[in-house]
Amino acid sequence: MKMIMKITAFIAALVMSASAVSCSSGKHAEIKKLSAKGGYAEKKLEFAYGDLGPASEFTDIGGKVGAVLPFTDELCYISKDGTRIFRDVLPDLDEANNDDIATIFAASEYGYLYWKMNRNVWVLSSDGTENQVSGLENIMYAEFSEDGRLFACNTMGDILEVDISTGDTKKVTGGNGIFSAFDIIGSNIIYIDDDGAHFYDIDSGRETEVPDALKDFLGSYRHERLTSGVAVDICRGNDDDIYIGCPDGLYRYVMGGNIIEQLIDGFVSRFGDPSDEMISLYCGEDGTLYAAFVSGVYSYRFDPELETAAASELKIYTLEKNNTVSKLISGFASENRGVKVDLQVGMKEGMTYSDAMKELTTQILSGNAPDVMILDGLDIENLIDKNMLIDLSENSEKWLPENDLLSNVVNWNDHDGKLCSVACRFRLPAVGAEEDELKKIHSYADIADLCEEYREKYDPKETFMGYYDVNDSVRIGLIYEWNRLFGSSPDKEALTEFFDSCKRIHDAEYAGNAEGSTYWSPDVTSENAFSARFWGALGYKIIATGAVNDISRDMSLLTSVDESVLGKKLSYRLGLNKDSRSFLPVCNIGITQSAKNADDAYSFLAYALKDKTQENGNDYDGFPVNVKALKKIYSRNVNDEYDYTTSLDVYGDDGKVKDTVELDIKSMDNAEVKAFDDYIKSLDEPVYIEYAVREIAESAGEKCLSGTETAEQAAEETMKQLELRMKE
């Protein structure tokens, strides 16, 4: 039986060097950056069927190296010349008639581990025997060792060995928190959890030392620091080395050393694109590297003539790293290889907002200001008052695209003709419930009334708000009430009413309710998960709150609700009440007065606003502001390419499933497009949430929710803290 990674003396080197490096050197990892000339070139392998999709990790079956596709029971394997992907049906999977496989976690000539549509995990042995696996309901990753042993990890922090012939599992060790990497190199499971990087020797059954260089480097990608869905994957090379793929690029580490060499930058490759997701790495016998992404398989070969030196440097600052910013930078860097992008994240590695602001101030005063600032969360008014941002209207020809923009959104922060920031995207606050009950909602207090009414009438063990966190009534409430609370000046009476509503919603949601908090989707923050909650309302009593983010995912779902199928009439409203025209401007970009590279800064802004960039945003980035991009997305209703059918369990008032229905999710039709387009063109109430103010309100709100302060006391504390902040 063959596996991808043939291990000889490498096994010994892996264990021995781990001890030697960590005990003797004590040195931190040295990252060797790209040289000025010569580097690895990325090329997508030809594949006649488009994207690869949710395939397995690379495996070697019958001498063919590739990834196994669910649904089709096929191995997509790399051609001998390394330029194309071919498909080959796998008889053992095909004979098992597994048409309901959703995800394949591990595949080899020893068998397969997969997740079926019914959410159960199954194992198929090489003799064709299929068994359900126990203990892996929350599976994350799985790998076969070279000798055919199967190991997997789950979201509970457990690492288990799976018996391929029976499906039985045995816990071998445990991690701490969520895993962000899980690979087997030789006899070692290499995994990353919330504590950092670990080696676990499957032969001896004990944890071994991790080389210091790897410990530092891999530890930086532990789960709480990852902001995208891109995986960290590790594979063996051909010379006692390993390769690491991560959001920052592709790296090589030689066992026993302290140098980790960067082979390709994440900004100019698939590795750094948060709209894609890496599946697996593989090193060929000739040294060619391959990476499987959802979008396809890519090769990485060394080209001695490749120009990698940058002619200029562009410094970009953001308070918090997120997928929207990462994708923008990745796309810009790919189109502008001569520009080296230096992304500076303010709140990195546990830094507070206050720490980040002190560091930024020091940076600016020392003459090292960023060129571009992603202003989301920052005190824009303060930056404008201190004349730290360029008036973009004076050089609009350098960044304004040829086609129209939604000027009411883009220019929301116009000050008497002076434009120091522009919004590249926006979100829309929304509320949803059954139609008759939605008519009762005109304020956040009305939502509190309805939540209390639901708790009195319906199953006490069910969630009505679909929160991610017990403090969500405050954070989500702020997107509706921000301008009323903190508009021209803080309003104590409004704050008292707001905290009272938050407390009533919280108490009703969690009153004797062990199942109150429900994680609807891991891909979006709670305040932006409106459509996920509305989806919950299709099956049961849910008051959907939060923001709507995009057309293809959110608006298509909202406009596809069919009363004849559901047996009840659900409805939603953009805005808290019928007169609301509020929106949340996001990805707000400004250029600093002291920018040393203003030309590339303008080019970056132009890239962010052009139609192709706007059209290809992530689902949760927010709506485009480019009119041409919007029209392109609207036009999708002319065919059914983006339509799909899904099933949904519908619950009765007693909390029990009474029916399962199928829903057709379709793109908006012409009438729906016109209504939506008219609405967004009438938006005139920007809701810009400043991080420091939100932090003050949430801190006081948390005390109110826990019962240690009344609503009035929470309002007084908020007012006091805001006054202190104004004096700083």
pLDDT at 112 over 80: yes
**pTM here?**
0.78
Same fold, 312-425+585-634 and 443-577+636-727: yes
Residues β-bridged to residue 125: 111
Which range of 15-29, 292-306, 553-567 scores highest in mean pLDDT? It is 292-306
Q: Which of 479, 489, 545, 509 is nearest to 718 (CA)?
A: 489
Give φ, ψ of 434 to 5 degrees: -65, 145
pLDDT at 666 over 50: yes
Give the residue with greater pLDDT, 176 vs 274. Answer: 176
Q: Which of 595, 694, 644, 633 is nearest to 425 (CA)?
A: 633
Q: Which of 211, 329, 351 is nearest to 603 (CA)?
A: 329
Q: Specify whether the CB–CB gap between 316 and 372 falls below 8 A.
A: yes
Q: Using the structure block, give the residue that is written with the tokens 């690895």.
A: 40
Residue 294's pLDDT is 86
Q: How confident is the model at residue 396 (pLDDT cuts 50, 70, 90)?
A: very high
Q: Is the dihedral of CA 306, 308, 312, 316 positive or negative?
A: positive
pLDDT at 562 over 90: no
Q: For residue 76, with 0-12 CB atoms within 10 Å meaning exposed, 13-18 middle and 19 or more buried, which class applies? A: buried
Q: Which of 224, 220, 196, 194 is nearest to 209 (CA)?
A: 196
Which residues make Cβ contacts (< 8 Å) with residue 656, sequence separation at least 6? none
| Residue type present at position 356 | A
Q: How confident is the model at residue 118 (pLDDT cuts 50, 70, 90)?
A: low
pLDDT at 377 over 90: yes
Q: Using the structure block, give the residue that is written with the tokens 């004797």.
A: 512
CA angle 76, 77, 82 (to 5 degrees): 135
Rounded to an integer, the average pLDDT of 405-419 is 93
pLDDT at 306 over 70: yes
Q: How confident is the model at residue 714 (pLDDT cuts 50, 70, 90)?
A: very high
pLDDT at 11 over 80: no
Q: CATH for 443-577+636-727, among 3.10.450, 3.40.190, 1.10.3470, 1.10.1060? A: 3.40.190
Q: How confident is the model at residue 19 (pLDDT cuts 50, 70, 90)?
A: very low
Q: Specify whether the CB–CB gap between 333 and 339 falls below 8 A.
A: yes
Largest CA-CA distance found in the chain, in angstroms, rounded: 76
Least confident interval from 323-337, 499-513, 519-533, 634-648: 519-533
Q: Specify whether the CB–CB gap between 343 and 318 falls below 8 A.
A: yes
Q: Using the structure block, give the residue that is written with the tokens 């048409």.
A: 99
State the fold for domain 9-307.
Neuraminidase (2.120.10)
Residue 646's pLDDT is 77
Rounded to an integer, the average pLDDT of 140-162 is 93
Rounded to an integer, the average pLDDT of 541-557 is 89
The tens digit of pLDDT for each residue in 255-272 reads 888 899 999 988 888 888
The tens digit of pLDDT for each residue in 432-467 reads 998 999 999 999 999 999 999 988 887 656 778 888
Q: Please tell me the distance from the alpha carbon of residue 422 to that of residue 590, in angstroms, as a whole number.
A: 7
Residues β-bridged to residue 66: 59, 77
Residue 117's pLDDT is 73
Q: Is the dihedral of CA 102, 105, 110, 116 positive or negative?
A: negative
b/e per residue, 626-646, with b = 16+ CB within 10 A?
bbbbbbebbebbeeeeeeeee
Going along 52-98, which residue ranges are E strands?
59-61, 64-69, 74-78, 85-89
Least confident interval from 44-48, 610-614, 627-631, 679-683: 44-48
- What DSSP line would sit under 94-139, residue for residue? HHTT-TTEEEEEEEETTEEEEEETTS-EEEEETTS-EEEPSS-TTE
Residue 637's pLDDT is 72
Q: For residue 416, with 0-12 CB atoms within 10 Å meaning exposed, 13-18 middle and 19 or more buried, which class applies? A: exposed
Domain ranges of the chain: 9-307, 312-425+585-634, 443-577+636-727
- Secondary structure (3-state) at 332: helix
Q: Specify whether the CB–CB gap between 270 and 8 falls below 8 A.
A: no
Q: Please tell me the distance from the alpha carbon of residue 235 to that of residue 186, in angstroms, as a whole number.
A: 10
Q: Where are the alpha helices (DSSP H) in 466-615?
A: 472-486, 492-510, 530-539, 556-558, 563-566, 598-609, 611-615
State the fold for domain 312-425+585-634.
D-Maltodextrin-Binding Protein; domain 2 (3.40.190)
Give the residue with greater pLDDT, 25 vs 396. Answer: 396
| C-alpha neighbours within 13 Å on the C-beta side of residue 6 | 8
Q: How confident is the model at residue 510 (pLDDT cuts 50, 70, 90)?
A: confident
Rounded to an integer, the average pLDDT of 342-358 is 88
